[in-house]
Chains A and B, each alone.
Chain A
Amino acid sequence: MISGTVEVEKLTRRFKVRVNDDAKRGWFSKKIYKELDAVAQLSFSIDQGEKVAFIGPNGAGKSTTLKMLSGLLMPCEGTARVCGLVPWDQTRELARHIGLVFGQKSHLWMNLPVQDSFDLLARIYDLDEQAYRRQLSRLIELFSLSEFLGQYAKNLSLGQRMRCDIAAALLHKPQVLFLDEPTIGLDVTAKSLLRDHLNKLADQFDTTILLTSHDTEDIEKICQRVILIDHGQKLIDTSLMELQRRYAQSKILRLATEEKEPDYDHPHVVVEQQGDHMLVLKVDVTQVPIEVVVADCLNRFKLHDIGIEGLPLDEIIKMLYEQRVCYL
């Protein structure tokens, strides 16, 4: 039963991998291969306008899944529909409904000005001239592109190029945008700018976003939902808030004290950092409620300031991979 914009059911993709692929084997060694499940029995559904992060360590199967969903790779088993189309059978029809951005690949023709690439893409997608001009001017404003349009793509910085690339992927107003490591290699400012642009984009166009990234800040700033995979299998599929609430077993307590060398001792609290008039504690909230520790600290110290933080997302993800438990 198809209900979402992206529907995936028991998607599986295997690759043949050479196991004796090293030089020391010499000239006459026989090639030995084994089959590896890059994606195994993966199922999920994404509704129109959802912003979903698809995360996992290297080799988890994120990019493979994205390639299958955009029609670049055929699965060994399972089915998928994107905008009601089977990606690998209806690749060219699907192309009108999706946009694809890879961090290290470009939609632009490097030896030509950016505007030329946009014009050609508009022709390829058979866009009505007026609709194209309207969309382009919105994207120019959204991604602040006006100064780059006349420049050769090869002369743009990585951040500028990425903004142009996302705009290029959006010229035909795709329903679904696949982003594979869009912030890779960008500096802090460029990353932040790009995230802002993507949020504005989702608000304006109601575009479904499926994002893979190793940068948890991308996920926190852009997505509402997280699908966590490892070894091609789904570990978690939940909202970002739920993930942080449910799986953050610790909280960080930051204290600024009157006392010069504050110290704290509790079986379920770890002192993370200790310094002049400051103390950072990691509280295991499954064993002791945070309010108990806070009350205890108020009793023990003369506090100038107090801060409570959830565990950073990358810590949560790291912890989940270490435990490698199937939570669903």
Chain B
Amino acid sequence: MMSTLKTLAALFVANVRTYAIDKKRLYVMSLAMCLQNTMFFVLWVIFFNHVGSIRGWDLVDVTRMFGMVASVCGLSLFFFDGLRTIPYKVSSGAIDFYITKPRHPLPAIMLSSSSPASLGDVFYAPTLYLLIQGVLGIPVFTFSMVPLFLLLTVLSTILFMSTMCLLFSLSFWLKGNPRFSGQLFEMLIIFSCNVLHGQPWGVKAVVFTLIPAGFISYLPIELLRHFDWVTFSEIVLATIFYAWLAIFIFNKGLRRYVRAKA
């Protein structure tokens, strides 16, 4: 167990060290990520300039949601960007390198890469909150909300990366088509950073099953509005379920890959 952890830590350190070699890449990508997040956020500012609120959700909720999704995305891709490389590894056969090791391949694959742009996402959330609350004076957070926000961010991050693992593991069945898996990931992002509150049942059915964005961005923000233990338990249970499902699907796909190779 200790040696596994040491190996994983070494992998992570190696990823971070690559940032030191190419700092320009890190800065440029982080800044560009912040800029694109801001440009997208401005669209919602424009929207709420004309529309006061939509079924009770206003700019404050959307700001919280944007910060939450940016943090979740950033943390997932900072630590576990390797998940996005599964389709490539399957199609190129590079996954064989991980299979032949004596440990389960998933942790090493998850840690095999780290996205430099993700740091832009991670720093975007506090910057956005400080800007909206500190400069514009719009009350996004109270001090008492912070621990809950952090806890929900951790849960959402686990859920988000579980869904990533699930979606990218589909490439075991899709001949490693990276573009299709990328499109599914795009759907996860689109669902996560959109207003799901008040959406019709069709949307809700998708975001609480196939693409569980409802648990990633919608319910956590609802909890920040009005905390209740039932909703919190739903998020915890969903996190556990999707984490299990992700591992299950990955293992199943891996077995299929190994069988096909034999």
User: Which residues of A approach B to under 8 Å, CB–CB?
Assistant: 21-23, 25-27
Contact = CB atoms under 8 A, between A and B. Distances in A.
Interface string B23-35: 1000000000000
Contacts of B18: 23
A27 B23 contact: yes
A260 to B, nearest CB: 49
Contacts of A23: 17-18, 20-21
B91 to A, nearest CB: 11
B204 to A, nearest CB: 39
Interface residues of B, number: 5
A238 B113 CA distance: 50
Select the residue from A21, A23, A25, A27 with max chain B CB neighbours within 10 A.
A23
Contacts of B21: 21-23
A45 B20 CA distance: 46
Contacts of B23: 27
A25 B17 CA distance: 10
Nearest to B18: A23
A22 B21 CA distance: 6
Contacts of A27: 20, 23
Given A22-B21, A23-B20, A23-B21, 7 more contacts: A21-B21, A23-B17, A23-B18, A25-B20, A26-B20, A27-B20, A27-B23
A25 B18 CA distance: 11
10 contacts: A21-B21, A22-B21, A23-B17, A23-B18, A23-B20, A23-B21, A25-B20, A26-B20, A27-B20, A27-B23
Select the residue from B17, B18, B20, B23 with max chain A CB neighbours within 10 A.
B20
A226 B60 CA distance: 74
Nearest 8 Cβ contacts at the A-B interface: A23-B17, A23-B21, A27-B20, A23-B20, A26-B20, A27-B23, A21-B21, A23-B18
Interface string B169-200: 00000000000000000000000000000000
Select the residue from B17, B18, B21 with max chain A CB neighbours within 10 A.
B21
Nearest to A23: B17
Interface in B18-69: 18, 20-21, 23
B227 to A, nearest CB: 41
Nearest to B23: A27
Nearest to A21: B21
A25 B21 CA distance: 8
Contacts of B20: 23, 25-27
A37 to B, nearest CB: 25
B13 to A, nearest CB: 10
A161 to B, nearest CB: 17
Contacts of B17: 23
A22 B18 CA distance: 9
A257 B104 CA distance: 61
A30 B23 CA distance: 11
A23 B21 CA distance: 5
A223 B147 CA distance: 75
B239 to A, nearest CB: 35
Nearest to B26: A27
Nearest to A29: B20
B107 to A, nearest CB: 23
B96 to A, nearest CB: 19
A21 B20 CA distance: 10
A25 B23 CA distance: 12
